[in-house]
């Protein structure tokens, strides 16, 4: 039977049942009409399929799988083809486990370097994010496995992520926070989109018709399912009206009954429900078709692919002739990360890796003369003895390789960092070692930018972000020169937290998060404000050098198409790859806009001495800005300067083109520093009102502060917080932080310790 026929045959109760998950990891099916349940798992950088798949909680032990580099590193590849390969490999693993949909890619914009979950996102720039997300989706889906583009949208902090209200003006929303999603939807049509937990301008994403229907489906042509993030459902009936298809996780009888009741009472029409059900049934049938095909994969070749992706994405930040390593030198290898590299971030994306190789093991295997001292401990509070031992070793050797970075405890889903420093004694170790040995190489792991107070005192710095399970081999490939580094930063490394665009408006105690920097996110801010940075967006060195020649640009106004052509030459003594970055600037613009914006890029491999012509396409969108009064993208008439650049601050060549467009565009008077409210209708901020008393949307921490409510809801606290309290490991910290910020309605579906109906009854008792 086809999907439409099935929908006709389903009863109202059966239809309602399909709109809520069957279990933690299954969309509901219908046995009578042979609609199978659909198995979905996290993602994004591998398969996290729980061993006990029908368990109620989502954090159980998972099957072994390949841990690919998380998004923070894969975006640094600037290589969509490579990331498409990663997608295909992940699809093969999903298929071998009977998984139909992988929950990724995470495509939120990095608004602040402090966001605890930045490691799971690609970039501060929407164009780069959109290109990489699209490629990953294509790679997965061409193998018959679905994806879930998440978290839609404006979910750029962990603090209060389930209840916060992202207050963003529409132009910034469109140009910065939605546009990577738009690109991925238009170019790759993901099977599903996962709505975010938070509110946007006062409405929860799960109930947001403007977001889920007007924009996503009607403007962008999305054809798939919208699912909630796990526990994000605010109002099931409002969600159906808004275009939210599946509530996850389940079961949740209260919401199934609410849907039935709403139809009976004519608050929800059959047609509205049928639209949702048709999409659910269609996806289930499609998933089943592909699931039957099955597949297997080769663990060794996937590990090799991780190694290739990671080594081609590592970013060489500084090199004063210490790299590649010299086989005739003796090296002190310091820092416990050499032995236990941090390969991925903490939280729902955490893969149970098949096999991790380590830098220490691979340096030995490569035959280098190395001696190791841990320098710090990843498990216990540091004492001076490890530091002293490391410094003593550093004194004896020709050169030093120090491994340092962000630890599991300092960066995680569920909470945000509070400062930009490295944790523990990592900085101190580097400083002390640099004081006794002038040949210091630093290798850094971590999912987000940090400060480097010792930068002037070391010779070479390699950033490995989070390299996945080939951490050791990839690191040694780059250190040894077997691979010439070609990664570039997908985000700015700032000089201080005070310098960052969202400083003062990020992860505060407020539920309303004001995106006051508007369009000026990442390099758009630093460039507009003329601020110095530690390392600019798009920056990355190589063991060779490149020159840029002969830039040309053409653009046909009628067709809305054009291209930039530039010749790149490898002028150094090694083969290597360069990414050409294309930035656009509107000359004499009448409207407020960032100085320059990334509109294209292309990575090209060149043998030493070789030159190649690189062609990068332009479209009408490359020149456009979002006009709120017109309700669409608009192109301003006039001259645009196009730069071919090696980083956002290393503009090599430029050429001007004249574009025919709107001669009287919206003149935008607002400038950074002006009243933020002026960017909103009638000059009023769309704030979420503070709720009075305990409601479904009160968080567990609010419940705990209320004497009566804390007694009534004790079972929830016991299930969700008590087992993790007082523990300092990353997972426990995450659990406690997430639970504190979790509204009652979400805690019910995520713990199964209490039902939504029971919560309603208890809330009535309280009043
Ligand atoms: C995360 C999602 C994840 C889901 C299922 C949520 O807490 O935000 O990214 O896919 O859990 O684990």
Is pLDDT of 382 > 90? no
Name the β-bridge partners of 150: 106
Backbone angles phi, psi at 262, to 5 degrees: -65, -35
pTM: 0.97
Residue 149's pLDDT is 98
Instruction: Kindly name the residue from 125, 169, 229, 477 that is annotated as catalytic.
Output: 229
* Ramachandran sector of residue 64 (left: φ over 0; alpha: ψ -120 to 50; beta: rest): beta
Is pLDDT of 182 > 60? yes
Alpha-carbon distances, residue 322 vs 97, 370, 394, 458 (angstroms): 45, 15, 15, 10
| Mean predicted confidence (pLDDT) in 211-224 | 98
Q: What sections of 608-699 are H helices per DSSP?
A: 620-623
| % the chain with pLDDT above 70 | 99
Question: Could you tell me the two tokens for 364?
Answer: 């030995």
Determine the Cα–Cα distance for residues 313 and 646; give it in Å rounded to an integer. 15
| Mean predicted confidence (pLDDT) in 720-735 | 80
Is any ligand 1 atom within 6 A of the Cβ of residue 58? yes
Residue 380's pLDDT is 80
Indicate the pairing of strand 330-334 with strand 315-319. unpaired
Q: Are residues 273 and 15 in contact, defined by beta-carbon separation less than 8 angstroms? A: yes
Per-residue confidence band for 365, with pLDDT thresholds at 50, 70 and 90: very high
> Which DSSP symbol is given to 120?
G
| Mean predicted confidence (pLDDT) in 274-299 | 91
Backbone angles phi, psi at 549, to 5 degrees: -140, 160
Q: Are residues 316 and 485 in contact, defined by beta-carbon separation less than 8 angstroms? A: yes
Burial class for 266, CB neighbours closer than 10 Å (0-12, 13-18, 19+): exposed
Determine the Cα–Cα distance for residues 643 and 583; give it in Å rounded to an integer. 5
Place of tokens 């479904």: 696
Could you identify the atom of ligand 1 that is nearest to the CA of residue 106? 9
Is any ligand 1 atom within 6 A of the Cβ of residue 230? yes
Of all protein residues, whose CA lies closest to atom 7 belonging to ligand 1? 230
Determine the Cα–Cα distance for residues 87 and 188; give it in Å rounded to an integer. 12
| Mean predicted confidence (pLDDT) in 34-53 | 93
Mean pLDDT, rounded, of the chain: 95
Name the β-bridge partners of 562: 555, 618
In this predicted model, what pLDDT tens digit does every residue of 80-106 receive, in sequence order? 999 999 999 999 999 999 999 999 999
DSSP, collapsed to helix, strand or coil, labels residue 26 as: strand
Question: Could you tell me the two tokens for 502?
Answer: 């969202």
DSSP, collapsed to helix, strand or coil, labels residue 338 as: helix
Residue 59's pLDDT is 65
Is any ligand 1 atom within 6 A of the Cβ of residue 229? yes
Concerning whether 383 is annotated as a catalytic residue, the answer is no
Is any ligand 1 atom within 6 A of the Cβ of residue 282? no
């Amino acid at each position: 039977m086809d999907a439409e026929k099935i929908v006709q045959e389903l009863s109202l109760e059966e239809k309602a049942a399909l709109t809520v998950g069957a279990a933690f990891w299954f969309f509901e099916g219908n046995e009578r009409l042979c609609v199978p349940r659909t198995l979905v798992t996290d993602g994004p950088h591998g398969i996290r399929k729980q061993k006990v798949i029908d368990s109620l909680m989502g954090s159980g032990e998972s099957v072994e799988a390949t841990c690919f580099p998380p998004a923070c590193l894969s975006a640094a590849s600037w290589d969509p083809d490579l990331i498409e390969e990663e997608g295909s490999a992940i699809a093969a693993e999903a298929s071998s486990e009977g998984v139909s949909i992988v929950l990724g890619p995470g495509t939120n914009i990095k608004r602040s370097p402090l966001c605890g979950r930045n490691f799971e996102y690609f970039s501060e720039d929407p164009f780069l994010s959109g290109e990489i997300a699209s490629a990953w989706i294509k790679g997965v889906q061409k193998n018959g496995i679905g994806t879930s583009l998440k978290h839609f949208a404006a979910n750029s902090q962990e603090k209060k992520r389930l209840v916060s209200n992202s207050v963003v003006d529409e132009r910034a929303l469109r140009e910065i926070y939605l546009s990577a999603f738009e690109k991925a939807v238009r170019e790759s049509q993901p099977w599903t989109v996962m709505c975010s937990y938070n509110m946007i301008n006062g409405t929860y994403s799960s109930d947001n018709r403007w977001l889920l229907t007007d924009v996503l489906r009607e403007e962008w042509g999305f054809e798939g399912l919208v699912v909630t993030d796990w526990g994000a459902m605010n109002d099931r009936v409002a969600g159906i009206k808004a275009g939210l298809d599946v509530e996850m996780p389940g079961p949740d009888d209260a919401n199934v009954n609410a849907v039935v009741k709403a139809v009976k009472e004519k608050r929800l029409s059959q047609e509205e429900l049928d639209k949702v059900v048709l999409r659910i049934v269609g996806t289930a049938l499609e998933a089943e078709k592909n699931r039957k095909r099955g597949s297997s994969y080769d663990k060794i070749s996937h590990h090799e692919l991780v190694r290739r992706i990671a080594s081609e994405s590592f970013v060489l930040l500084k090199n004063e002739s210490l790299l590649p390593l010299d086989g005739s030198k003796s090296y002190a290898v310091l820092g416990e990360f050499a032995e236990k590299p941090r390969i991925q971030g903490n939280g729902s994306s955490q893969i149970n890796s098949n096999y991790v190789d380590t830098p220490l093991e691979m340096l030995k295997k490569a035959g280098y003369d190395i001696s190791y001292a841990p320098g710090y401990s990843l498990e216990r509070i540091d004492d001076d003895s490890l530091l002293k031992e490391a410094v003593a070793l550093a004194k004896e050797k020709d050169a030093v390789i120090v491994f340092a970075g962000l630890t599991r405890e300092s960066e995680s889903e569920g909470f945000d960092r509070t400062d930009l420093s490295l944790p523990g004694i990592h900085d101190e170790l580097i400083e002390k070692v640099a004081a006794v040995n002038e040949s210091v190489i630093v290798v850094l792991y971590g999912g987000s930018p940090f400060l480097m107070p010792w930068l002037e005192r070391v010779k070479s710095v390699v950033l490995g972000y989070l390299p996945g399970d080939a951490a050791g081999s990839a690191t040694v490939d780059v250190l040894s020169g077997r691979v010439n580094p070609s990664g570039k930063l997908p985000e700015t490394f700032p000089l201080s937290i005070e310098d960052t665009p969202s400083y003062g408006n990020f992860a505060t105690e407020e539920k309303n998060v004001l995106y006051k920097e508007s369009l000026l996110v990442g390099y758009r801010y630093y460039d507009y404000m003329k601020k110095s940075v530690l390392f600019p967006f798009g920056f990355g060195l190589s063991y060779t050098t490149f020159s840029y020649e002969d830039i040309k640009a053409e653009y046909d106004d009628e067709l809305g198409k054009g291209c930039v052509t530039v010749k790149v030459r490898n002028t150094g003594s090694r083969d290597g790859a360069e990414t050409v970055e294309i930035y656009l600037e509107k000359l004499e613009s009448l409207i407020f806009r960032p100085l320059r914006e990334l509109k294209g890029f292309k990575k090209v491999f060149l043998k030493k001495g070789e030159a190649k012509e690189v062609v990068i396409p332009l479209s009408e969108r490359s020149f456009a800005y979002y006009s709120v009064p017109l309700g669409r993208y608009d192109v301003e008439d006039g001259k645009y300067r196009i730069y071919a650049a090696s980083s956002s601050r290393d503009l090599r060549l430029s050429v001007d083109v004249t574009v025919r467009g709107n001669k009287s565009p919206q003149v935008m008077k607002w400038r950074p520093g002006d009243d933020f409210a002026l960017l909103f209708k009638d000059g009023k901020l769309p704030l979420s009102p503070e709720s009075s008393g305990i409601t479904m949307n009160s968080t567990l921490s609010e419940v705990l502060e209320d004497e009566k409510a804390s007694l009534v809801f004790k079972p929830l606290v016991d299930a969700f917080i008590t087992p993790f309290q007082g523990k300092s490991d990353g997972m426990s910290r995450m659990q406690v932080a997430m639970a504190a910020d979790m509204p009652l309605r979400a805690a019910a579906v995520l713990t199964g310790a209490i039902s939504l109906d029971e919560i309603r009854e208890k809330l009535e008792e309280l009043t």
